Amino acid sequence: MSADRLQQIHAALQKEEQYTLLRYAEFLLQSSEPVEQEKTEPLEIPRPQKEHVVKAIRRLAETYPMLKHEKLLKQGADLMSAHLVNGRDAVEVIDELEGIFQAHYQRYLEG
């Protein structure tokens, strides 16, 4: 199955079904042997107008499936605690999270 066909299927599904498809794909990826992957583009998952920090982290992880998310875990946890403990604004934290993911993606592209 080509990536184009998978995108067509994804686009034809309701939001909940899209999420189920993504979770299943992630399950298959984790349970299979690693394959040398070509550099890929981030998925286009729009940012909702109102979003919680935890949901933003999930969205960004889904947007950048090619990144090793364990590398981003500490930075995300630090920002999450700044939001929850110190009361830092969610929008500001999410903006910074997006910048962190984009920076990691740039490093990924550079090899």
For residues 103 and 78, what is the distance between their CA atoms, to the nearest angstrom?
17
Element of type H or E holding 79: helix 70-84
pTM of the model: 0.64
Q: How many CB atoms lie within 10 A of CB 31?
A: 7
Residue 74's pLDDT band (cuts 50, 70, 90): confident
- pLDDT (tens digit, 9 = 90+) per residue, 90-101? 999 999 999 999
CB distance 93 to 75 below 8 Å: no
**pLDDT, position 77:** 87
Residue 84 neighbours by CB under 8 Å, 6+ apart: 53
